[in-house]
Structure 1
Amino acid sequence: MEGSSETGADLSRAYFGQVVRPLLAAHDAGLEVAAARLGSGSDVLGFDDAQSRDHDWGLRLTVLVEDDRAPEIDALLESELPETWQGFLTRFATTWDPVVRQRVEVASAAGFAASRLGMDPSRGLTLPDWLSLTGQSVLEVTAGPVFHDGPGVLTRIREGLAWYPDDVWRYALAADWSRLGQEFPDVGRAGLRGDEDGSAVIAARHVRTMLHLAHLLHRRWPPYGKWLARSAARLPGGGALRIALHEVLRARDWRSRQAALADAAELLAMIQGEQGLPTMEPATEPFFERPHIGVREMAELLTAQIRDPEVRALPVGVGPAEQISDNVSVLVDPALRRRLVGS
């Protein structure tokens, strides 16, 4: 299969259907399982290519069983799987585990979800739970293809993680608009002082925030940084936003840079209105008497619609964990994420 265009998800589906499922049925014909390609890996998001195959790619699968049978099934697979299948090793080391072993991850549905999220979503999520989630952690449970779900538990968990509650959604949207507003005029101010490098750095920060905001507006969980722009390009209207943000990053002077940023902000404000949310037209305005551009009260419009008193009591403009910090070591650790949101 060297040189094959088959994706990791295709490979996992075939591996389950042709190897793992028959082996499980031979062991226990009545065994109910869910099977999917979940967890880490570009193939979970559908972004894998030939380069993806140099590590952590191959015969990976998630099998979910209930009634505390995960250790039994894991041991069965380790013992009974063939050494290779279709030219791929069934046992290999990974970047997080140097042990050479089979890579069908076996757990209960709730246990698997908790390993990614830091809590068991089948019990219902509290406000601190929602705030501690990252888009990537949710995608590791919800984005990958499901090949079979006999017990139905995985499907229910994925449905419960479809999106934030409405007021938490508005709070997160307002946090991104607030972040834009805080430094939007600084793109021009740094440039006016002759600091084009500083202007470009600030603008690049805004581009990342806008990509995150675009996902929120479309109720799509944003992936981590490597795939954020590519994922945004798949959103409705993502092509126009991509062009505007390219202009920001390509700009060689602060005036064209801030003009492109303003165009992107107007696109996002238009999308916000199309989603049935309050918006402003225009969403940007001159910044006092200076030749700079600021963001109007977009955040305030959203927070005014929040009715849940617990959400209304949250600090304005702060947002969930991934809006507070972009430190990877923090965002991949559920305990540290909870500390960020004060729980």
Structure 2
Amino acid sequence: MSAAVQGLALARTYFVELVSPVLRQEFPNLGYAAARLGTGSDVLGLDDEMSRDHDWGLRLQLFVGERDVDRVSVTLDQQLPQRFRGFPIRFGMSGDPTERVRIDVSTLDRFAQENLGFDPRGDPSPYDWLSLTGQAALDVTAGEVFRDDAGDLTALREALVWWPDDLWRYLVACDWQRLDQELPLMQRAGDRGDDLGSRVIAGRLVDVAMHLGFLLCRQWAPYSKWRGTLFTRLPLDPAIGTALGQALRADDWHARGAHLASALEALATHQRRIGLPSATPVAVPFWDRPYLHVDPHLVPELPDSIDDPLVRDLPPGLGSIEQRTDNVDVLMHPARRRAALG
């Protein structure tokens, strides 16, 4: 196998050529699902040579019935060799240096709870959904499924294709509200000579605009390391990314405001094209000051298009957990995400 192989291709070959034959021989009647899901840049197809220094290699997820978890785990540990295609089968990972087989054998229900905090195949509440991050969704929906006898893993992934429609509209409104709140502040700070403060606010606004772009394209936003990479692959006007980059590089607040306004106008145009309420222009004068803010009619119009009374009653502007905080120690833990929503 090529030294440049990516993790997903390696996982697929590992399953087909080694793991699947062992399971077929030892458990001929076993029904199960096999995949490469969860954490890791390889799940997103973004791993490279540098990715191999930690948490990369022969990794799989196997989903079996509760009574089969232990016996399958023990058998794989006993039957698998030391290496496959030159890669170690047993290795340590960050947070767990024990050298062991990195095939996570579990039940699908437990996997859903541990990664999402709820099961989207059931009847989750709006707050269950709001506790979801884009990265948590990608941990389940990205990657690749190699076998799914009962179809349950496929059903779980399909249940996470996207937000329920009314919640999607609510989240879009929340991002516009966040943009409206700080766009004039970015300009005001710069106008008063606080260039550093203006740049910091501009950085936040760019991140919110990128998050909005993922929402409008109905694609889950990854965590910060890969957000820019996947943003460039969204089916958006390339001028949006160009304008956001120019806003970050601008040397004065006037230029920052102009570039951000240009990006927001293009996002609003895309929003109109996909059938959501929008505004033209979306960036309008802020009182009598030489600044811009979001058209005040836009944010209220989005909730007006929501039918579900539970979603209509959600607090305006608060949004999902990843719209409320960027604290990694919250976003990485489903129980903390849910608790933080109140």
Correspondence for 1:295:
294
Are the aligned partners of 1:110 and 1:121 in contact in 2 as well (CA < 8 Å)? no
Instruction: Indicate yes or no: 2:338 matched with 1:335.
Output: no
CA distance in 2, matches of 1:217, 1:96: 36
CA distance in 1, matches of 2:168, 2:200: 28
Correspondence for 2:102:
103
Correspondence for 1:124:
123
CA distance in 2, matches of 1:336, 1:284: 36
Give the Å deviation of 1:281: 1.0
Amino acid at match of 1:159: E
CA distance in 2, matches of 1:325, 1:15: 38
Give the Å deviation of 1:67: 4.9
Deviations 1:217-273 (A, max 9, x none): 111111111111111111102632211111111111111111000011111111111
When structure 1 is superposed on structure 2, of 290-299 and 116-125 the one drifting more is: 116-125
Please list, as runs of the form range in 1=range in 2, the aligned pairs for 1:116-265 lying within 5 A after superposition.
116-237=115-236, 239-265=238-264
Amino acid at match of 1:108: T
For 1:122, what is the secondary structure of its paired residue?
A: coil
CA distance in 1, matches of 2:33, 2:112: 13
Are the aligned partners of 2:148 and 2:154 in contact in 1 as well (CA < 8 Å)? yes
Instruction: Indicate yes or no: 2:305 matched with 1:305.
Output: yes
| Closer/same/farther in 2, CA of residues 165 and 109 from structure 1, 3 Å limit | same
Are the aligned partners of 2:198 and 2:253 in contact in 1 as well (CA < 8 Å)? yes
Gaps spanning 5+ residues in structure 2: where?
none
For 1:48, what is the secondary structure of its paired residue?
A: coil
For 2:8, what is the secondary structure of its paired residue?
A: helix
Are the aligned partners of 1:38 and 1:44 in contact in 2 as well (CA < 8 Å)? yes
CA distance in 2, matches of 1:326, 1:68: 39
Gaps spanning 5+ residues in structure 1: where?
none
Please list, as runs of the form range in 1=range in 2, the aligned pairs for 1:259-298 lying within 5 A after superposition.
259-297=258-296, 298=298
Give the Å deviation of 1:183: 0.8
Correspondence for 2:20:
21
CA distance in 2, matches of 1:217, 1:68: 43
Number of residue pairs aligned between Structure 1 and Structure 2? 341
CA distance in 1, matches of 2:278, 2:6: 41
Instruction: Indicate yes or no: 2:13 matched with 1:30.
Output: no
Are the aligned partners of 1:68 and 1:108 in contact in 2 as well (CA < 8 Å)? no
CA distance in 1, matches of 2:295, 2:74: 59
Correspondence for 1:39:
38
Are the aligned partners of 2:41 and 2:47 in contact in 1 as well (CA < 8 Å)? yes
Deviations 1:41-79 (A, max 9, x none): 001111111110100000011111135312211111111
Are the aligned partners of 1:232 and 1:238 in contact in 2 as well (CA < 8 Å)? no
Correspondence for 1:321:
321
Give the Å deviation of 1:124: 2.9
Are the aligned partners of 2:237 and 2:266 in contact in 1 as well (CA < 8 Å)? no
| Closer/same/farther in 2, CA of residues 121 and 75 from structure 1, 3 Å limit | farther
Correspondence for 1:112:
111
| Closer/same/farther in 2, CA of residues 174 and 88 from structure 1, 3 Å limit | same
For 2:121, what is the secondary structure of its paired residue?
A: helix
Amino acid at match of 2:10: L
Deviations 1:27-48 (A, max 9, x none): 1222222111100000111111
RMSD: 1.3
Are the aligned partners of 1:90 and 1:102 in contact in 2 as well (CA < 8 Å)? yes
